[in-house]
Amino acid sequence: MNSAGLLQVIKKRRSVRVYKAGKVADKQLETILEAGRWAPSGANTQPWEFVVTRDRGKMKKVRRIYDNEWKERKKEDPIHYKGLKKDYVGDVSVLVLVCGDPRTKQVYLTTRQPGDREKLFQASIANAVEHMMLMAASMGLGTVWVSVREEVEPELRELFKVPQPLRLLWVVPIGHAKSWPKAKPRRKISDFAHRELCNPKKLRQDSAIRPWPKS
């Protein structure tokens, strides 16, 4: 594939939050995992562990866990939680629970600060997730990066028997988009690329740093 083709896939990928029925074929799933496999990682630690499920019963439970959490948060903060539901989390052909093995941080011998080791660990796993999302997009499949917040983590961990010391970081549904979402706005290159020296004048005003979904 040439660079234009790769950029096309990168631009095509969207966070898909409404899915229709339809199987992700085993071969497609293997290719998506293969893309994750080749992600760069700090000191080549490959700290990811993926729990991959097609079990609709478990997905229903995942959906319930997210829904309950959402309802609880909405009681505390009805303004910011209004209208945003997480029912897409488990309504798909395949659900991937993205875990990480923090024991791999021991390999970062020349990185001593815990915060720096955490950075290497998180970034490495994020690379694998993004590789898989791009591969899925290239096949016309939808994905979305779903956060595992502390409020839902214990229940998800129990449901999928994720042992300590693994970290349970993200959930990634893979499926057929009901419709392909429109691209959200992106900042211009000239707004974020600082040439030679960082130019503080280019930084956004506080008022321009807006929370999703407004931005």
Ligand X SMILES: Cc1cc2nc3c(=O)[nH]c(=O)nc-3n(C[C@H](O)[C@H](O)[C@H](O)COP(=O)(O)O)c2cc1C
Report if residue 95 touches ligand X, rule: CB under 6 A. Answer: no
Least distance from ligand X to the Cβ atom of residue 211, Å: 10
**Cα–chain center distance at 22:** 21
How many residues are listed for the chain in this entry? 215
Q: 187 or 202, CB closer to ligand X?
A: 187
Q: Which residues pair with 188 in a beta bridge?
A: none
- The interface with ligand X within residues 50-79 (CB under 6 A) comprises none
Report if residue 14 touches ligand X, rule: CB under 6 A. Answer: yes
With contact defined as beta carbons under 8 Å apart, do 67 and 85 qualify?
A: yes
Query: Which span (4-12, 20-28, 53-61, 141-149) binds ligand X, by CB under 6 A?
Result: 141-149
Q: 51 or 133, CB closer to ligand X?
A: 133
Report if residue 80 touches ligand X, rule: CB under 6 A. Answer: no
State the angle between helix axes of 114-138 and 3-12 in degrees (0 to 180), rounded to the nearest 10.
100
Q: 29 or 144, CB closer to ligand X?
A: 144
Task: Give the whole-angstrom CA distance, residue 156 versus residue 154.
Answer: 6
Q: Which of 51, 94, 128, 144 binds ligand X (CB under 6 A)?
A: 144
- The interface with ligand X within residues 179-208 (CB under 6 A) comprises 181, 184
Least distance from ligand X to the Cβ atom of residue 96, Å: 14
Helix/strand/coil (H, E, C) string of 117-158?
HHHHHHHHHHHHHHHHHHHHHHCCCEECCEECCCCCHHHHHH
Q: 102 or 181, CB closer to ligand X?
A: 181
Q: 107 or 170, CB closer to ligand X?
A: 170
Task: Give the whole-angstrom CA distance, residue 203 versus residue 215.
Answer: 16
Report if residue 178 touches ligand X, rule: CB under 6 A. Answer: no
State the angle between helix axes of 114-138 and 26-37 in degrees (0 to 180), rounded to the nearest 10.
150
Structure-token match 């211009």, residue found: 188
Report if residue 147 touches ligand X, rule: CB under 6 A. Answer: yes
Least distance from ligand X to the Cβ atom of residue 183, Å: 6
The answer for 32, left when phi > 0, alpha when psi is -120 to 50, beta otherwise, is alpha
Q: 149 or 202, CB closer to ligand X?
A: 149
Report if residue 136 touches ligand X, rule: CB under 6 A. Answer: no
Using CB under 6 A, list all residues that contact ligand X. Answer: 14-15, 17, 144-147, 181, 184, 212
